[in-house]
Amino acid sequence: MNSQKAAISLLFILAATACEISPNKISPVGVNPSSSDAEKEDLRSRGTPSTQPTTLRAATLREILSAAEKAAPSLVDATGAAADKAPGLIVGVVTEAGSQVIGFGTTRVEGGHKPNGETYFGIGSVTKVFTGLVLAEAVSKGGVTLEDSANKYLPSDIALPVNAITLRQLATHTSGLPNYPANLKDFRDNDNDGVPDSDASSPGRNYWQENLSSWLQKKPSLKFKPGQSTLYSNLGSGMLSLVLQAKMNHSSFDVMMSEHITKPLGMKRTQANTPEMQGENLDNKAQGYAAGAELIPMPFADMGVLDGAGELVSTANDMNKFMQGLAGISKTPLADSFSEANRSLSTQGKYEMAYSSAIEKSAKGGTYYLKPGNTPGYSAIILWRTNPKVGIVVLSNRGGLDKVNELGKELIELAVK
What does residue 89 show for φ and ψ, rounded to 5 degrees?
Answer: -160, 150
Sequential pLDDT tens for the chain (417 residues):
444 444 444 444 434 443 343 333 322 223 333 333 443 443 333 344 444 555 799 999 999 999 999 999 999 999 999 989 999 999 999 999 999 999 999 999 999 999 999 999 999 999 999 999 999 999 999 999 999 999 999 999 999 999 999 999 999 999 999 999 999 989 899 989 998 888 877 889 999 999 999 999 999 999 999 999 999 999 999 999 999 999 999 999 999 999 999 999 999 999 998 777 766 657 799 999 998 878 999 999 999 999 999 999 999 999 999 999 999 999 899 999 999 999 999 998 788 999 999 999 999 999 999 999 999 999 999 999 999 999 999 999 999 999 999 999 999 999 999
> How far is the C-alpha of 242 from the C-alpha of 250, rounded, in Å?
9
In the prediction, which pLDDT does 34 show? 35
Compute how many other C-beta atoms are within 10 angstroms of the C-beta atom of residue 113: 13
CATH of 2-143+251-414, one of 3.40.640.10, 3.40.710.10, 3.40.50.300, 3.30.950.10: 3.40.710.10
Query: Which amino acid is it at 357?
Result: S
In the prediction, which pLDDT does 280 show? 65
Which helix H or strand E contains 236, and what residues bound it? helix 234-248
Quick check: pTM over 0.85?
yes
In the prediction, which pLDDT does 54 show? 58
CA 286 to chain centre: 18
In the prediction, which pLDDT does 403 show? 97
Helix axes 127-140, 234-248, angle to 10 degrees: 40
Asked whether 33 and 147 are in contact (CB, 8 A), the reply is: yes
